[in-house]
């Protein structure tokens, strides 16, 4: 799909806010991209689109997850500091997937084989100081029980 080019944090917020309108409880949004590429800024836009408080949004660096109350709960994970997927075990993090809200995960590749099998993938690329390339797609990996 053609990427979006965002020329400012505000444009990224507007894009995310528009994107959020289609989200339903149970959806999963995975945000991939280097530090400073705009993932958390995008979550602010998601919060805005889901009528949560934008000022509450910040990366949950130490607790791994923040919850914002909007149209439905937004479970915001930032796995940057995760060393290995097993560290998440005590959080029962997967209970927040396909639940009563939307799970939004920064650095989903840190999950290794536990990456959700389906969800919106949003990739961010730093272009220059204020410009970011943003690609949105939906990925679905069939479960084994469906394969021949």
Ligand X SMILES: Nc1ncnc2c1ncn2[C@@H]1O[C@H](COP(=O)(O)OP(=O)(O)O)[C@@H](O)[C@H]1O
Q: Which is nearer to Mg ion, 34 or 131 (CB)?
A: 34
40 scored as a contact of ligand X (CB under 6 A): yes
Task: Classify residue 136 by burial, with Cβ atoms within 10 Å: 0-12, 13-18, 19+.
Answer: middle
Is residue 66 within the footprint of ligand X (CB under 6 A)?
A: no
Residue 41 touches which of ligand X, Mg ion, none (Cβ within 5-8 Å per kind): ligand X
Window contacting ligand X (CB under 6 A); options: 22-30, 31-39, 47-55, 110-118: 31-39
Q: Which positions from 69 through 98 interact with ligand X, judged by CB under 6 A?
A: none
Neighbours of 15 (CB within 10 A): 21
In the bound state, the residue with its beta carbon closest to Mg ion is 40
* Footprint on residues 99-118 left by Mg ion (CB under 5 A): 106
Query: Starting at the edge strand that comes first in sequence, how are the strands of the sheet with 74-78 ordered?
Result: 4-6, 131-140, 118-128, 28-32, 102-106, 74-78, 65-68
Half-sphere exposure of 69 (CA within 13 A, CB side): 0
Residues that bind ligand X (CB under 6 A): 6-9, 11-12, 33, 35-41, 106, 130-132
């Amino acid at each position: 799909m053609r990427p979006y080019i965002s020329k400012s944090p505000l444009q990224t917020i507007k894009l995310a806010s528009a994107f959020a309108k289609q989200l339903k409880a149970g959806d999963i949004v995975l945000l991939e991209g280097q530090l400073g590429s705009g993932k958390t800024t995008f979550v602010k836009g998601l919060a805005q689109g889901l009528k949560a408080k934008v000022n509450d949004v910040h990366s949950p660096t130490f607790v791994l997850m923040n919850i914002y109350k909007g149209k439905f709960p937004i479970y915001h994970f930032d796995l940057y500091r995760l060393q290995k997927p097993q560290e998440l075990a005590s959080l029962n993090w997967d209970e927040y997937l396909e639940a009563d809200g939307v799970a939004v995960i920064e650095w989903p590749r840190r999950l290794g084989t536990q990456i959700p099998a389906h969800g919106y993938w949003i990739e961010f690329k730093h272009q220059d100081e204020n410009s970011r390339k943003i690609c949105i797609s939906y990925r679905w990996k069939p479960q084994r029980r469906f394969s021949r």
